Structure 1
Amino acid sequence: MQDWGVLSRSWGQGSLAATMVLLGIGTVLPAAAADGQAGQTPVATEPEQSSAPAAATSPSTSDAPQADLGNIRVIGHATGGDQVPEAYAGGQVATGGRIGVLGEQNTANVPFSVISFTSQLIENQQSHTLADVLLNDASVQSELGYGNFAQVFKIRGFSLDGEDVSFGGLYGVLPRQIVQTNFANRVELFKGSNAFANGVAPAGTGVGGAVNIEPKFANAEPLTQFRLGYQSDSQIEEALDVGRRYGEQKQYGARLSVQHAKGDTAIDGENAADTSVGLGLDYDGDRARAGLYFGYQKQHIKHGRSIVYLGTATEIPDAPDADTNYAASFNSTELENEFGLLRGEFDLTDHWTTYAAIGANHTEEQGEYGSPTLIGNDGSASVYRLGVPFESHSFSGQAGIRGDFDTGPVSHQLNLGYSGYYRRTDSAYTMSDFVNQSPTNIYDPADIGYLPTASEAGDQDDPNVRTRTRADGWAISDTAGLFDDRLLITVGGRYQSIRVNNYSYQGDFDGDPVRGHEVSPVYGVVYKPVSWLSLYANHIEALQPGDAAPNTAANSGQVIGIAESKQNEVGAKADFGQIGGSLALYQIKKPNAAVDANNVYGYSGEQRDRGIELSVYGKPTERLRLLASATWMDGELTETGDGSNEGNDAIGVPDYRLVLSGDWQLPGADRWHANARVIRTGSQYANEANTLKLPGWTRVDLGLRYKMPWGHDDQNLVWRAGVDNVANSDYWQAANDGGYITQGQPRTFKLSATLNFD
């Protein structure tokens, strides 16, 4: 925390844009609050827990039947304003989300594929982390990080690291490994290349898609919730969520979310603890809106099961029993994060709004990692220990202006914005003997004690700087509307500049900086031939910092260059009032990174992913809420240089994924809801030569919910029970191009009781 002032001075030197952001905060007030703008669709019969102030829906989580109010449109501020789209019929997804520099948008009006999961869905599925939420979309698969417990996602076949998940539209704010959902009002998934909309991601991932978490702020109505939960084997959770609005017009809001969990998980010998605190303060005036959010998260995982390195295995062994813990007993990590966000917007006129935001994060991690490396096809493996102290400081900001005007019969939505960030990472390591490693077997794990240090680098107590990354981007776009906005044409571009400095473990500057700059264009079109259908197409290009070399590479930890990617996409979105959906066809090209014969990690060829996505959601019947998606992908290696892997399938890209979930109100028992989810993932390759292949897998999750009256009319007690992976299926969940595979979680029982006092 003490280094943030230094970072601020470093950020400010020579950066007029950063100065604009800082000055803007003094006079401009945020966008984070108003849950006001609604779409053209019916309101949900079970309103979600919104983060918005006065114009928001009620925070009730009622499952009892409610009157059908027909097509209602809730109007927010009459002036400009960045207003959050309402929940769609059924309440599980929203009608839109934050589209980066374009602000909050209804998905029917933008040439991109976006889906936003509401807090109602998060609560009813008892989703504890971001990975739990993203399971609901077939275009996303999750896995663990390189030897650690970080949640890594693949969207349309390309990786998205945790440090590239944005918070309220800002990168570099959230914890980088695991994000708890008690900070989240909504989880927004942008599928496809997104650098124009969101800017340059700090870790250079997210080519196939982006994830944004919208923070929690006070609802229109008072909220006091206490939750007590259990998760197998002995995880006990307590949580408190309190929100209030103050002032004559309820223009001031405060919301506090506190959560603590600790105990053994469903994996043998694994123990996890979490403490998460979030405080959101907001102001919602006639022309000005402001949101200030502080977050703290501390996690400790002991004897955690992480990944399995493929090593010298010539075939993929069957997955062990789902609850088997084959990691060394010292495999653990402690993660601590403090972060903050300040957003603001001000309506200059009824048609023009200016906005600004700043955010910061301080991270400290201490990990002792020991995952098995296969040395045979019978599950035999070896283990070495890698200890890594890690620290990072991030500072990000954005500012801009949005407005609308007409030129004759043509309407215009003009956006001009700046975004940028600065990030410094510090690290060191200790390592056990890499040659004489301890033997084990993933089916019959050995009891491996702490392995002594054989080599080390850097200062273990005060790690030296390893990377400094600075990125700045200016974006401008115009969406022209013709024929009463039935035809929307978006044209824009983002100038991006990136500079990455690599340092040795001693903190010495290591060679020339990696730098690049580029104008990344975006072209998009939306055509609405009828009121319920939107046809769209887009072309986006992006410039991003390259991948960091894995720990086992000769250039470990170094950012390997600048990567350019391109996407073309066409699709359709339909809204029939009670049920909606989308269909998309896309192609994405990105440089492919791999370790060469000299153990140097670098770019070698290109990965080209082509796919088809289908999504359906809503409330097709009086009692049924539906959320389903499917994707078919063809990830291919092209331009591979020597041609040895030309045309092979890309690592970790399954040929298809299906997700089908439903929430059903039981007949004759209006307070009871049953829910189910089925996930099916096709086979995927684990190496570029396509000689190692993970079989497809299926997982079934079931749940039950009961709303019990408690006290007076506004009080209730909601019981939720669920079982993930009901059959306790043993399967390899995903493969990563870092040379490892991740196993799926075992059968996990979940039970919670949420008492609503208001």
Structure 2
Amino acid sequence: MAALDSNRHIRPVLSVSASAVRRALFLLSMPIAFGAGVAHAQSSTDTTGDTKTQSALPGVAVSASSAPVAPEQATFGGGQVAKATSLGVLGTQQLINVPFSVTSYTAKAIQNKQSQTVGDFLQATDPNVRVSMNSGQFAENYTIRGFQLYSDDVSINGLFGLTPRQMVLSDAVSRVDLFKGTNAFVNGAPAGGTGVGGGVNVELKHADDKPLTEVTTKVSGSGQVGAHLDVGRRFGSNDQFGIRFNQSDDGGETAVDKQKQYNKTTAVGLDWRGEKLRLTADFLYQRMKIDQGRTTFTATGAVPSVPSATSTFAQPWTNSNLEDTIGMVGAEYDFAPGWTAYVKGGARHGNEHGSYSSPAYSGATNTATAYRLTTAFKEDSTSAMGGIRGKFNTGPVSHQFNLGGSIVSVDQKSAYTFSAFPAFNTDLSNVVDVPRPADASGAGNLGDPGTIEQVVNRSISVSDTLGFLNDRVLLTVGARRQELRQQTYGYTGTQSGMYDQSVTTPIFGLVVKPQDNLSVYFNRAEALVQGGVSSSAGNIGQVFAPYRSRQLELGSKYDLGRFGTNVALFQIEQPATYTDPTTLVTSQGGKQRNRGVEVGFYGEPIKGLRLTAGASYTDAKLLKASTAANDGNTGVGVPAWLANISADYDIPHVPGLAVNAAWIYTSRQYLDEANTLSIGAWSRFDVGARYATQVLGKDVTVRATVQNVANRSYWASTYGGYLSMGNPRTFWLSLTTDF
């Protein structure tokens, strides 16, 4: 439950009048649009496979060579998946050359999905990610390779501790990098103690070479309305200086009954591109307010029938307010041929407060009861990293040397009040409103919460990637020295727990390239991960000792130019954490070993058809479980099978029109360690369309998306022992005009 987690993409055939279409779209564009697509009166294909809008102008003969695409900007066909990205201490890398499984999604992919948040986008797109608590539940936590990544531990511009804590709105995001597997060596250790199964990094928007003034208006089927302004410019004799400004506001009733949500994002990105020196500065403000939001709940004895897809479990007095203010700066300097020094850092202030109602269902009595929890939570964090990277040769062997260090410091302040448990009876299908229950217990001052936890994570890393046989064989060896320091305090200010532990974890990676566009890789990685603090009511605040996780991975990547594939086999181990549904006590005991296989496909295999698709299988076993009878059982909240198929297709006889569809599948999940309670497999279908044209000489794109088109009701996740529902049918309609 989020409240508790807070303490934590021509042939004219049809006789259709293009001018009539444009007139109709013009009328519909004041101010909110209708339609769907990507094209225009006349169409041409750009380097990413999408169509561009062209005016009906007199013919002009032009002869010019197009500028080459920089390696770090290259994408597979359709422009949805990048071929290179920035990988922590390793810097910008071609992904086919690294011994890790990484997928980098572009802003185009996010925009065409009409995803409101990063979690919403990843779950709908990638077959290796599920969101264990959806956007109606105040937080988005990710399950990657069967292990959880808290929203706290998502990095932003490569820095931990600075990302908006519970959910990341997508309007200011230019790229989402998904790193599958243990990644502490590459990225460092996150402050929240999760991410053994993988990591997520979001990059904020900076100015492109082409000027941009883009206005998007949108409306949902339930009544949410919003607007988004995106402006980018470059200045100077060589366009050295860039500025990117994003402002978005939306709000109204969601598809969940009685739930209302209000979102606001302000982002400014500045950059300077000199001959040797590159500077960046970013500011991000994000605010979310959710009234009467649907929560997770616990269940014992049986799993209840799934209520209506739009059902809410919330009371009228429930709410959540999430506010984050973030600033970051960075610099890179090429101090010698092939050598770069870099540094970046930032700070964040987060302010959260709300009242929550979390039902507890009893299978023995077929009833549900609930209580009220009110929290106040503030967090101040700083984060920095720096180092040097260099390339040199020793005879026939090439080297990519990296030396770096990082530090993350987090100060958390919290207070809470509880009502009596159970404070009131409730019903999962027909919730009866009750008055706000009175306080029965609590700790700290809601108006001025005190410090309950301080975390400082320091690390230093060194690595060398040696290239043999003209870089057909790439061997990466390195190590990271990590120091994790955590202090916890009672609500009276008295220190209640502490640990300070250091460990050196090695990295070994091997890439073999039989040909330039095919690689086979292997890695062995370790990480020291913060044990974390219990957020469960039964032992809230208890500190767990740090632990060492280990990973083995074997995989292959194939780049066919416009289309790519990958496959990976993996094994990851970490200590198991379990929350007893009766006592609500979280404990660590034994370990969980996840073995699996992943397959992915992305790009444009056929002109006009863009795909992102794949599947994964995970065998999650509990070993040396705290209860002997559970030894060998499947881990809680880990589905064995995941699959996603997302297709985007240009309609050949209707220039400018593209349609898309997605299928998302998740197999059965267990709710308890004993594997006696489970939820069934679920699948979701999304459909959409996109249409691009010109109105009064301006590029206009209309998008329509329907998520969960069948309005299917289903339990979506059991991770951590909590049940959560999938979102109901949700319709979004938007119009984007490029001025």
Same fold (TM over 0.5): yes
- Aligned partner of 2:351 among 350, 355, 364: 364
1:754 paired residue among 731, 736, 739: 736
Change (3 A) 1:750 1:46: farther
Give the equivalent residue in structure 2 for 1:660.
645
Q: Could you tell me which amino acid in structure 2 is paired with residue 575 of structure 1?
A: D
Do the aligned partners of 1:47 and 1:61 also contact (CA within 8 Å) in 2? no
Aligned to 1:62: 52
2:688 to 703, 708, 712: 703
Q: Structure 1 residue 542 and structure 2 residue 532: aligned? A: no
What's the counterpart of residue 205 of structure 1?
194
1:721 aligns with 2:704: yes
In 1, the alpha carbon distance for the partners of 2:577 and 2:668 equals: 22
1:447 maps to amino acid: D
Match of 1:298 in 2: 287
Q: SS at the partner of 2:628?
A: coil
Letter in 1 for 2:219: Y
Residue in 2 that maps onto 1:264: 253
Per-residue CA deviation, residues 101-128 of structure 1 (Å, 9 max, x unaligned), is 1011111000000001111111111011
Aligned counterpart in structure 1 of residue 243 of structure 2, from 251, 254, 266: 254
In the alignment, structure 1 segments of 5+ residues that lack a partner are 1-43, 49-56, 77-82
The answer on whether the counterparts of 1:85 and 1:105 sit within 8 Å (CA) in structure 2 is: no
Task: Identify the residue that residue 461 of structure 2 maps to in structure 1.
Answer: 475
Count of matched residue positions in the alignment of Structure 1 and Structure 2: 687
Match runs of 1:404-483 below 5 Å? 404-434=391-421, 436-483=422-469
| Residue 353 (str. 1) matches residue 345 (str. 2) | no
> 1:720 is aligned with what amino acid?
R
1:88 aligned residue:
76
> Judging changes above 3 Å, is the alpha-carbon distance between structure 1 residues 282 and 745 closer, same or farther for their aligned structure 2 residues?
same
Q: What is the rounded CA distance, in whole Å, between the counterparts of 2:136 and 2:264 in structure 1?
A: 23
Counterpart for residue 731 of structure 1: 714
What do residues 152-211 of structure 1 show as CA deviations (whole Å, max 9, x unaligned)? 110001011111111110011111001101121000000000000010111000000000
3-state SS, counterpart of residue 423 of structure 1: strand
307 and 379 in structure 1: CA distance in 2 versus 1, 3 angstrom threshold: farther
Task: Measure how far apart 1:728 and its partner are.
Answer: 0.3
Contact map agreement 1:146 1:550 (CA 8 A) in 2: no
Partner-residue secondary structure (3-state), 2:538: coil
Work out which of the residue numbers 123, 126, 133 in structure 1 matches 2:111: 123
Equivalent residues in 2 for 1:90-489, closer than 5 Å: 90-135=78-123, 136-144=125-133, 149-310=138-299, 312=300, 314-376=301-363, 380-434=367-421, 436-489=422-475
Aligned match of 1:35: none
Deviation readout 1:8-54 (Å, 9 max, x if unpaired): xxxxxxxxxxxxxxxxxxxxxxxxxxxxxxxxxxxx94567xxxxxx
- Indicate whether 1:684 and 2:673 are aligned: no
Which residue of 2 is the match for residue 499 of structure 1? 485
Q: Assess, with a 3 A threshold, how the Cα gap between structure 1 residues 641 and 261 changes in structure 2: closer, same or farther.
A: closer
> In 2 relative to 1, CA 351–302 (structure 1 residues): closer, same or farther, beyond 3 Å?
same
Letter in 2 for 1:448: V
- Cα distance in 2, alignment partners of residues 707 and 427 from structure 1: 49
Measure the CA separation in 2 of the matches of 1:405 and 1:238.
50
Do the aligned partners of residues 63 and 111 (structure 1) sit closer, same or farther apart at CA in structure 2, a change above 3 Å counting?
farther
* 2:730 corresponds to 1:745: no
Cα distance in 2 for partners of 1:64, 1:250 equals 26
More moved, 96-105 vs 359-368: 96-105
1:647 is paired with a residue whose SS is coil
Q: 1:590 aligns with which of 570, 574, 589?
A: 574
Q: C-alpha offsets along residues 430-473 of structure 1, whole Å, 9 cap, x if unaligned?
A: 11011x42111112212123111111211111001000000100
| 1:553 Cα offset (Å) | 2.0
CA distance in 1, matches of 2:475, 2:707: 44
Per-residue deviation, residues 205-236 of structure 1 (Å, max 9, x unmatched): 00000000111000101100011001131100
- Could you tell me how far 1:486 is from its partner in structure 2? 0.4
Residue aligned with 1:340, SS: strand
Q: For 2:84 and 2:375, how far apart are their aligned partners in 1? A: 40
Q: Which amino acid aligns with 1:620?
A: P
**CA distance, structure 1, for counterparts of residue 435 and residue 219 of structure 2:** 30
SS in structure 1 of the partner of residue 607 of structure 2:
coil
Distance 1:212 1:524 in 2: 21
Amino acid at match of 2:369: S
Looking at structure 1, the residues matched to 427 and 398 of structure 2 have their Cα atoms a distance apart, in angstroms, of 66
Query: Is 1:529 matched up with 2:514?
Result: yes
Amino acid across the alignment from 2:654:
A
Q: How many Å apart are 1:695 and its aligned residue? A: 0.2
Describe the SS at the equivalent of 1:84: helix
Residue among 566, 579, 592 paired with 1:607 = 592
- Alignment check: 8 A CA contact 1:231 1:749 kept: yes
| Alignment deviations for residues 303-329 of structure 1 (CA, whole Å, 9 cap, x no partner) | 00021212x3x2212211100112222
Mapped partners of 1:46, 1:754: distance in 2: 19
Indicate if the aligned counterparts of 1:259 and 1:275 stay in contact, CA closer than 8 A.
yes
Find the counterpart in structure 2 of residue 581 from structure 1.
565
Partner of 1:74: 68
> Retained in 1: the 8 A contact 2:129–2:142?
yes
Counterpart AA for 1:749: F
Deviations 1:130-163 (A, max 9, x none): 1122121111110228995111110001011111
Match of 2:110, SS state, is: helix
* Aligned-residue RMSD, C-alpha: 2.1
Separation in 1, partners of 2:417, 2:626? 36
Instruction: In structure 2, give the amino acid aligned to 1:102.
Output: L
Normalising to structure 1: TM-score of the pair?
0.88
Which one-letter code corresponds to 2:732 in the other structure? K
- Quote the offset at 1:247 in angstroms: 0.3
Is the contact made by 1:560 and 1:601 (CA closer than 8 Å) also made in structure 2?
no
In the alignment, is the contact (CA less than 8 A) between 2:134 and 2:724 conserved in 1?
A: no
- Distance in 2 (CA, whole Å) between partners of 1:105 and 1:501 is 37
The residue aligned with 2:31 is none
In structure 2, distance between residues paired with 1:641 and 1:377: 25
How far is 1:353 from its partner? 0.4
Give the SS at the match of 2:77: coil
Letter in 2 for 1:577: G
Alignment partners' CA distance in 2, 1:722 and 1:378: 41
Structure 2 contact 84–95 (Cα < 8 Å) conserved: yes
SS at match of 1:132: helix
- Contact (CA 8 Å) 1:363, 1:392: kept in 2 or not? yes
Measured in 1, the distance between the counterparts of 2:274 and 2:366 equals: 63
**CA 1:751–1:379 in 2, change beyond 3 Å: closer, same or farther?**
farther
Q: Spell out, residue by residue over 1:273-296, the C-alpha distance to the aligned partner (whole angstroms, 9 max, x if none).
A: 011100001001111111100010
Q: Are the equivalent residues in 1 in contact too, given 2:302–2:362 (CA < 8 A)? A: no
Corresponding residue number in structure 2 for 1:18: none
1:566 aligns with 2:566: no
- The 1:152/1:61 distance shift into structure 2, 3 A limit, reads farther
Shift of 1:746: 0.1
